[in-house]
Amino acid sequence: MPQAILHDYYRSSASYRVRIALNIKGVEYERRPVNLLEGQQQSDEYRALNPQGFVPMLEIDGHRLVQSLAIINYLDLRFPTPPLIPTPAAERAHVVAMAMMVACDIHPLNNLRVLKYLKNELGHSQEEVDAWYAHWISEGLPALETFAAPRAGTFLFGDAPTAADVCLVPQLFNARRFNVPLDGYPTLVRADENANRLEAFAAAHPDRQEVPQ
């Protein structure tokens, strides 16, 4: 029996993060895909479970957990080995800051509901929506590169993956989908390449998930 149930969408960045974290922690889980393109996240059935109507949502230990960073924090406390967030205060702040640069600064501006609003309600063309997406990635990654480089190793912080890498990998997947050049971010690209060599990251990739019908 799985230890957890993950409600997610295969190409959702936030869901991708949680799949990686679950894999790193060795937590068995059942995926229950929620088709964002079809609006299943807004259904009465799903909102009865998660009033915010977002993915991911993780059912574990009798709890329904939402928000990817909160879920990752829960998993790190519940299953402490291997750690995703360091214990020393300054190191913890550094790793959490890098995770938040992606999860709080870049990603929300490019969330599907924002892109749909730009196109449908505000009448922007697909070309304009794609340009919006690429702009906010290109604005956010330089700061992350500069912030990470002095303390990076094999990964964004040292030589073991942290929550920062868990957030980075889905973001660079999206950057490549929208043809955002990554040549100027050697630290980020190196960490991404090393992370994707690990099965915990590779198994979470959207291409290896069931696509909702």
**Rounded average pLDDT per 10-residue block, the chain, 213 residues:** 88 97 97 89 91 95 97 98 97 98 95 91 94 94 98 98 98 95 97 98 95 71
In this structure, are 93 and 172 located in the same domain? yes
Strand 29-33 relative to strand 57-60, pairing: unpaired
Alpha helices in 39-197, H assignment, sequence order: 44-49, 68-78, 89-100, 112-116, 126-148, 163-177, 186-196
| DSSP β-bridge partners for residue 63 | 60
Range of the domain at 133: 89-200
Quick check: helix, strand or coil at residue 32? Answer: strand
Q: Is residue 77 part of a domain?
A: yes
- pTM (two decimals): 0.95
In this structure, are 111 and 180 located in the same domain? yes
In this structure, are 78 and 95 located in the same domain? no
Q: Is residue 207 part of a domain?
A: no
Instruction: List the CATH number of the domain containing 179.
Output: 1.20.1050.10
- Number of domains present in the structure of the chain: 2
In this structure, are 104 and 37 located in the same domain? no
Q: Is residue 78 part of a domain?
A: yes
Instruction: List the CATH number of the domain containing 53.
Output: 3.40.30.10
Q: How many CB atoms lie within 10 A of CB 175?
A: 22
Which of residues 82, 103, 126 is at a domain's end? 82
* pLDDT value of residue 210: 82
Q: Is residue 74 part of a domain?
A: yes
* pLDDT value of residue 213: 62
Instruction: Please give the structure tokens belonging to residue 158.
Output: 């040292």
* pLDDT value of residue 1: 54
Q: Is residue 122 part of a domain?
A: yes
* pLDDT value of residue 89: 98
Residue type, 59: E
